[in-house]
Structure 1
Amino acid sequence: MLLSRLKHGTTVSALAMALLAITACGQDVSRADPPALGCATAAAGQPVAVALGARANSPAPRLGADVENLVRAAVTAEHEITMITIDGAPKTAFRGAFASTARNAVAVQSDYDRFLRLALETAAAARARTAEADVLAAVDLAGRSVPAGGTVVVIDSGLQTVAPLDFREPGTLTAEPAEIVAFLRARRSLPDLTDRHVVLVGLGDTATPQAPLSRRYRDNVVAIWSALAKAAGATCVHVVTEPRTGDAVTAEPDVGLVRVPMAESFVSCGDTVLADSGTVGFQPDTAVFRDVGMARGTLRRLADQVLSGRQRIELIGTTSSDGSEAGRARIARERAEAVRDELVRAGVPAARITTRGVGANWEHRVNDRGPNGELLPGPAARNRSVVVRLQCP
C-alpha cells in the first residue's frame, strides 16, 4: 500500500529495505540519471520544493529532465517533495514523502511509480487561482518547505507584479540588483534560504501578451533574483539558461503587464530624457556605458538629427538621491560628458554642446525614498539619466 507521509509523520517506508531486492531483480527504483544542475547537483537526494509559474504572461512551466531527476532522487531517498503554484497568493499544491508498506520489491516499485506519477501530474496540472504574480512569496514558501541542505527550484519568468517587488513600477526592470536586495532587506522581505540550494529556470522568458524582454533586461532579471537568493543565504544559485518558450498555460486570472522600455525618439526642440533604463545607460557608479554599441547607435541618430539642423545641445546629467551631494554632481557631470564625447565622435561640433551635472536636483525627479528613508530601487533608477535639451535658434 502506498503511503504519502507528511514531514512529521511516523510511517516507516519499506523502500530502503527493498532496494537490495529490487537491484537483485535487475530493477532500479529511481530510474533517473543524476541531474545536471551545477552546484545544486550535490543536493540530489535531499528534499525539494518546486515553485511553478503556471500563470498568465509566463510560458507554461515544464520541469525538464534535470529537475524531474532531482525530484526522483528526493523520492527515492524518501525525502519530502513540495509543489507550489505561483500566482498572487502562492499555495502548496502537493506535499509528501514516499513510503510503502508493501512486503515485496515489485509492489514497492509499483507504489513508488504511483507516488511519483501523482507528484508529476500535480505539477503538470498546476494552475493559477489568484490574480497577479507574487514570485517572492512563492520563494519564501518554498524555502520554508525544505530544511537546510534541500533545494528550491523556481520555474517562472520572474516578473513579479505585486509589492514589494513590482516589476510594473517604472525603473524596476533595470534597477541595480544590490539596490533591490538592500530595499527588500530594509523591508524585512527577504525569504530565508539559509543553506538551501536554489535553481532558477526560465527567468526573463515571457508569453503573450507580455512583451518579450531583450537580452539586457533578461540578464538583469536573472541578476536580481540571483542576488536576492544569495543575500537570503542560499548555499549556491544555479541558473538554467535553456530558454522556455510557448504560450502561457492559462490567460486567467489576470496578471499585469510589465512595460518594456522602447528605443528613444528625439524631439526637434525641447527635452528628451535618456533614462538609465534605456539604450544609453551606464554601469553602476561609473560613466562607462553598459552597452557601448547600443549607446552609440542611439547617439548616432541624435547626431544625424542635429547635423541636419542648427540646434545647440545642452546635456544635463541627473542622479538618484543615493550617495553624497558632491559625488552625485560628479557622476552626473561625467555621464553628460560621456554622451558629449560620443556626439563629437559622430561629427557634432563640440562648440554646439554644453554639459552640466545637477545630481538629484532637477525639476522632473521623482521621490526615490521610502517612509523610513530607504532608497526605492525603481524610482532611483528613473532618476538616473542624461537629459538632452535641443535649443532651437
Structure 2
Amino acid sequence: MKRTFLALGSTVVFSTLTVGCGPEPIPPHTTFLIGATATANEPAVDMHDDNLKVVRDAVGRGTADVLGFVGSATDQPVVRKDVSVYYDESTKELETDQGRLDTGYQDHMAPVREKMAASASTQSQLDLLALLGDMAHTTGPATMLVYSSGLQTTGLLDLRGWGSDLNVDATVEGLPQNKLPDLTGKHVIFIGLGQVAGPQQQLPPEMYSAVQDLWIKVCRKAHGDCEPLVQRSSGGPPLSKVQVPVIPVPSHPTVTVFGDPAAGQTVRILLPNGVFFHKESADFLPGADQALRSMTQYFRSDATTVARSATAVGHTAKSGPHDGAIDLSKKRACRVVDALAAEGVDRSLFKVDGVGFDRPLSPDLDSAGHLIPEAAEKNRTVEVLVTRIRSNR
C-alpha cells in the first residue's frame, strides 16, 4: 500500500490507493533545528544514530526538514535539508518499504551529518543563550537538538566568575524574562552538557551536574519543553582554532612543604571547596573522606619531626553576602577538622576559623571590581597549615 498527498484547493489530504478505504489523516510534519556551539573547548559534534533517533522516528511517521546552525554569529542556518523519504517525488507518495525508508533516510541525512560534524565556531566566546535565540526565532513549533558543553563565557550567564560556586536556582531566578529566548512550542534536547575538550579542564561531578541542571531550568523558564541527553561524546577533538576563555574548575588537593626538615617545617594543604563540599553546604562530596585520610600522615610523628600545632581556615571567593560567607567557610573548616579527628588526628592541635572573603589567598577583584575567575576559584578552599618541630628522639 502506497501513501500519497492529494491537494484539494489549499488543503492537503493524506490518502491511500486502496479502494474502499476512507482518507487517512495527514501524516505529521516535523521541523528539526540542529545547533552547535562548536568551540575550541568542546568535542567535535557527534551526530551518531543514538542522539538522532527522534529524527529517524519522525521520518518513519511522515515528513521532516532539518536546519543546522553553528555558533551565534548569524541566525542563518549553515545547512537546510528536506529529509522526508518519498516513494515518488512528483506525487509526494511517502515510502513505506522499511528497507528503502532506511536507505533514503541515511542518504538524506548524510550531508547534514557531514556539515554539522565539521562545524567549528569562529567566535571568541561560547554563547549558548544567543544560539538558542537564533535557532528559536527562525520557525514555529520544532524540535531543537543542541550540541553544547553549556560553559557560557559571556552575557547574562557568564559562568567564569561562578565556577564551582554556581548556585543554579538563584542564577535562574535572577534572569530577566525579557532577556531570554522564547522557546514556546520548542522541544529542546541538549546533547553534551558539561562535556569538554581542548584546553578546558574536565568538570568535577558536582559542577558537571550543575551545568546540566542550569540549562534545563533556563530552558524551562524560557517556556521550552526541555530535556538533557546524558551521553558521553565520541566526536573527537575540537575543530575550532579560535581561542575561547576557559571556566576555572577546582583542582585536586595540593600539599606544599617548606622549611628545614631537620629543624622543623610547615605543611600547607589546600582543600578546594568544589572538590570536597556540596554547593552552599558543609557536607562532604563522595570521596572527600578518603582524600582526607591520605592527609593524616602530615599530623603524625616521623623520624625527625612531630606536629606541634595546626590551623584550618575556610575561605570563599568575594561573592554573596558577607556574613553567609563567613559562616559557611567556618563550618567547612570545622568539618575538615572533624574528619581528620575521626581518623585519629589530635584535635587539640587545631585552631579553626572561617574568614569568608576577608582574607583572600589571591586578590580576586580587578580594578573595576569584577571577579577574576582563576583567582576566585583558588580562594574557594579550606587552608590547613601544620607546624612541625624537630623531634627530641
* Pairwise same-fold verdict (TM > 0.5): yes
Against the structure 1 CA distance between its residues 93 and 197, is the aligned structure 2 distance closer, same or farther, given a 3 Å change threshold? Answer: same
Q: CA deviation at 1:312?
A: 1.8
Cα pair 1:333 1:357 within 8 Å, conserved:
yes
- Give the secondary structure class of the aligned counterpart of 2:77: strand
Partner of residue 124, structure 1: 114
Shift of the 19–364 alpha-carbon distance from structure 1 to 2, 3 Å rule, reads: farther
Q: Which residue is equivalent to 1:318?
A: 315
**1:53/1:60 contact within 8 Å kept:** no
Which residue in the other structure is 1:52 paired with? 36
State the distance in 2 between where 1:216 and 1:325 align.
24
Q: How far has the Cα of 1:340 moved from its partner?
A: 0.7
**1:178 counterpart = 2:169:** yes
Equivalent in 114, 128, 135 of residue 135 of structure 1: 128
Counterpart amino acid of residue 153 in structure 1: L
| Residue in structure 2 matching 1:285, options 280, 285, 293 | 280
Does the alignment pair 1:298 with 2:291?
yes
1:35-50 residue pairs with structure 2 within 5 A? 46-50=30-34
Q: Provide, for residues 49-71 of structure 1, a one-character-per-residue CA deviation record: whole Å limited to 9, x for no partner.
A: 21134453433323343553433
Q: How far apart, CA to CA, are the structure 2 residues paired with 1:355 and 1:23?
A: 87
- Identify the match of residue 182 of structure 2 among 187, 192, 200: 192
Q: Do the aligned residues in 1 keep the contact of 2:256 with 2:269 (CA within 8 Å)? A: yes
Q: How far apart are 1:346 and its partner, in Å?
A: 1.8
Q: Distance in 2 between matches of 1:376 and 1:12?
A: 65
In structure 1, the gaps of 5 or more residues are 1-10, 25-29, 32-43
1:337 aligns with 2:314: no
1:21, distance to aligned residue in structure 2 (A): 4.4
Alpha-carbon distance, 1:313 to partner: 1.6
Q: Which has the greater radius of gyration?
A: 2
Q: Secondary structure at the match of 1:266?
A: strand
Long gaps (5+) in structure 2: 1-6, 21-25, 258-265
**Identity in percent:** 22
**SS, match of residue 267 in structure 1:** strand
Q: Higher strand fraction: Structure 1 or Structure 2?
A: 2
Number of the residue aligned with 2:239? 250
- SS at the partner of 1:203? coil
Q: Deviations over 1:203-246 (max 9, x none)?
A: 233344554445444323322322322333323x3222222124
Is 1:156 the counterpart of 2:148? The answer is: yes
Provide the rounded CA distance (Å) in 1 between the counterparts of 2:178 and 2:163. 18
Paired amino acid for 1:351: S
- CA displacement 1:142-168 (0-9 Å, x = unmatched): 232343x5322212333344455455x
Are 2:386 and 1:387 equivalent residues in the alignment?
no
Structure 2 residue aligned with 1:20? 16
Aligned to 2:237, the other structure's residue is in SS state: coil
Correspondence for 2:252 among 263, 281, 301: 263
Q: Are the equivalent residues in 2 in contact too, given 1:14–1:108 (CA < 8 A)? A: no
1:339, distance to aligned residue in structure 2 (A): 0.7
| Cα shift at 1:139 | 1.9
Q: What is the rounded CA distance, in whole Å, between the counterparts of 2:343 and 2:300 in structure 1?
A: 10
- The 1:57/1:380 distance shift into structure 2, 3 A limit, reads closer
Counterpart of 1:86 in structure 2: which amino acid?
G
Q: Residue 284 and residue 377 in structure 1: after superposition, are their counterparts in 2 closer, same or farther (change >3 A)?
A: farther
Which one-letter code corresponds to 2:144 in the other structure?
Answer: V
| Secondary structure of 1:310 counterpart | strand
Q: Is the 8 A contact 2:307 2:386 kept in 1?
A: no
C-alpha distance 348-171 of structure 1, shift in aligned 2 (>3 A): farther
Assess if the C-alpha contact under 8 Å between 1:170 and 1:382 holds in 2: no
> Could you say if the C-alpha distance between residues 359 and 157 of structure 1 is closer, same or farther in structure 2, counting changes exceeding 3 Å?
closer
Aligned-residue CA RMSD in angstroms?
4.6
| Displacement of 1:349 | 0.5
From 326, 336, 346, the counterpart of 1:349: 346
Residues 92-146 of structure 1 deviation map (CA, whole Å, 9 limit, x = unaligned): 2134768998236379999xx9898556513421322514433222122223234
Q: Which position in structure 1 is the counterpart of 2:194?
A: 204
- 1:84 matches 2:75: no
CA spacing shift, 1:106–1:303, aligned 2, 3 Å: closer
* Partners of 2:387 and 2:179 in 1: CA distance: 46
Cα separation, 2, equivalents of 1:220 and 1:129: 24
Match of 1:102 in 2: 90
Check the 8 A contact 1:59/1:248 in 2, yes or no.
Answer: yes
Contact between 1:51 and 1:86, CA under 8 Å: does it hold in 2?
yes
Number of residues of Structure 1 aligned to a counterpart in Structure 2 = 357
Show the counterpart of 2:54.
70
Distance 1:333 1:257, change over 3 A: closer
